[in-house]
Structures are given as C-alpha cells and as structure tokens.
Amino acid sequence: MALKFADCHNDLLLGVLHQKERGVSDPFGEFWLPQLREGNVVTQVLPVYTEEQFVGEGALRRSLLLFETAWAIAEAHPNDVLLCTTGKDVLEAHASGKIALILAVEGAEPVGHSIDIFESFFRMGVRLLSLTWNRRTMFADGVGERDTGGTLTSLGIEAIQEMERVGIILDVSHISENGFWHLNEVATKPFIASHSSLHSLCDHPRNLKNEQAKRIGEVKGIICLNAFGGFLSANPKPLDLIAHAKLAIELVGEDRVGFGFDFMKDLLTQVDPVLTGVLMDPKDWPFVPGLDQPADLRSFGELLVNELGEQVANKVGWKNLTDTMVNLLP
C-alpha cells in the first residue's frame, strides 16, 4: 500500500487563481486534485502568498481572493476535500477518505499594521501564519533582510500575542535568525516550521540552524522539510531530502519531523508573479528530478520506507504533521 503524505506547504492556490483568471474553469479538479490523489496526500496546507506586485494595500485584496479560492475548491469538490478549521475536521476528512485542507498565510503583508485583522483571518479559516516571507514586514524581518540584524518590532510582539489569543499557529519559516530567537522569547505556545530544511546540510539562509531545529522540537512544534533542490544540496536528488529527514530525527526525534514539499516546477508554468526577493534567480532554480510534483510522492514513499523503515516513514510522511494539526488547531 502506498505511503500516505501530509504536506505543510503547496502554493497551489496561487496557480488555481491565475488559471481561473485566464479562463480555466476548474484548474484544481483538472490538475491538482489528480496530482494529490496520485501522491496519496491526505493532509494539505494551502498557504496564501502575496506576490511582489501586490505588496502594500493590494495584498489584503489579493489574499481575500485566495481565501475565496480555497473555499470555492472545497465547495466544488465536496467528495474529495474538506477545508478544515478544527482538529475534529481533520479527523473527519481522513475518516471519509477526503483530503484535509488547511488554510495558511505566508508572510503578513496582508495584515499591514492592523493586528485586528488576525481575528478576521481566523474567521475566514486561516489557521497557520508566518510573520514574514523573505522581505521585511511591519512585524519582523525575513531571511532576505538578515544583514539588518532585525528582531521583532513592537508590533510584531503584539501580533504574536494576538495570533495566540485567536488560535492561529505561528510559522517560523522565512523569518530571520534573530527574529526566530526573539519570537522564541515571546511565544507561549508551540510554533512550527512549515517548509524549511537544515543549514548544516545545505548552507542557505532559508534553512534552519541545528539549534533552531532543536528549539522547535523542545516547544513541541514540528519541522516540515522543504523539497526544493536549492535547499537540499548542490546536485539535489530525492535521497538528499531523506538525509535532511535523518538529521532532523537525530535533532528533535522521530515525532517532530514532517514535510512541507514546496513544489514549484508546475506552479511556475501556471503563474506570472514578480519574484524579486527569492534569493535565487528563478531561471536557475534546481528542481529535484523525480520529486518535483505531488504525484512523485508515490515513488518517494517507497524510498522513504526503504531508508527509514515503515513505522518511522509513516510518522514522518503523514502522521506527525496530521497529529500536530489535530493537537494545535482549536
């Protein structure tokens, strides 16, 4: 039987919206749903990302369109997916053979300086949010601003407190290293890394240092490893992602490791965002042969079982992230 997967990061909402804006009636049903089913994905986090051309007041408008895209997907495919807002929803989705979808926000540009919007986002279904993408926000610096030495702003401290109050999980992927440690001082609830690999295996600013990874484990969060080739090795292959998984298990234990695959290859054929802050020229992006779309997870699952054993592969593949969502969602 094919290994199940829970994926903490797939920007497919952006692809779906761009395709619908170009007249495709059901891009999720035509492309992404078959991909997720083929890869045996049972839990999928759907981040809402603000494209460069919408940073500023346009970010909120664009995010609302993407939120609506998620809800429209759930309404159009009620037999296949369930947009989950509680842990109970996730369990019900799995029990009925549906894919559990969880709405997230990648970078807090849509919030601006109005922290009351966090509660509005929660009402719209958002359950996971990162204060930054690579750039600076009103709350913190992303890894693209690492030379500033920036930590959280005063508003960033308030934002964390408000997110914890309303029930939105903190995501530390993309935040600067200094920002991470400041967030660690402020946060009172578990936080997670939705799509980050390990710096000691690949020297990239988007990757977590070992001490950061250990801290996520200590607060009972989860590290979801990123499959993007530029975060894995100089010549990336599927085994490199498993090498990151093995090290993560050594650092935080087999119950605190999962995946946030961040599949981008197909997405780049469907969207035309302005990408000025990605820290790497998109023309040179190194994708992983045999691990660049959800359907590839079927063969990757076999490799994962061979390398980690069936019990640990099941934990890392889907159970850890699913359990974390069930435990941390309201």
For the question of whether the overall pTM of this predicted structure is more than 0.75, the answer is: yes
At residue 224, the 3 state secondary structure works out as strand
Give the H/E segment covering residue 128. strand 126-130
Question: Which CATH number belongs to the domain containing residue 245 in this structure?
Answer: 3.20.20.140
Tens of pLDDT, residues 19-36:
998 999 999 999 999 999
Confidence check: pLDDT of 265 > 90: no
> How many residues are given for the chain?
330
At residue 220, the 3 state secondary structure works out as coil
- Measured distance CA(130)–CA(142) in Å, rounded: 10
Q: What is the mean pLDDT of residues 114-130?
A: 97
Confidence check: pLDDT of 40 > 90: yes
User: Residue 273 — very low, low, confident or very high, per pLDDT cuts 50/70/90?
Assistant: low
pLDDT at 47: 97
- Measured distance CA(189)–CA(169) in Å, rounded: 8
Confidence check: pLDDT of 123 > 60: yes
**Distances 305 to 94, 109, 248, 254 between C-alpha atoms, Å:** 21, 39, 16, 14
Phi then psi for residue 305, to 5 deg, are -65, -40
Task: Report how many domains make up the chain.
Answer: 1
pLDDT at 80: 98
pLDDT at 186: 96
Let me know: does 285 contact 230? Beta carbons within 8 Å: yes
pLDDT at 280: 58
Q: What is the mean pLDDT of residues 281-301?
A: 87
- Domain ranges, residue 142: 5-328
Let me know: does 60 contact 67? Beta carbons within 8 Å: no
In 3D space, the residue among 161, 128, 155 whose CA is nearest the CA of residue 139 turns out to be: 155
Q: What is the mean pLDDT of residues 211-235?
A: 96
**Distances 231 to 158, 234, 267, 277 between C-alpha atoms, Å:** 31, 9, 18, 16
Residues 6+ apart with CB under 8 A from 77: 28, 29, 33
User: Residue 279 — very low, low, confident or very high, per pLDDT cuts 50/70/90?
Assistant: low
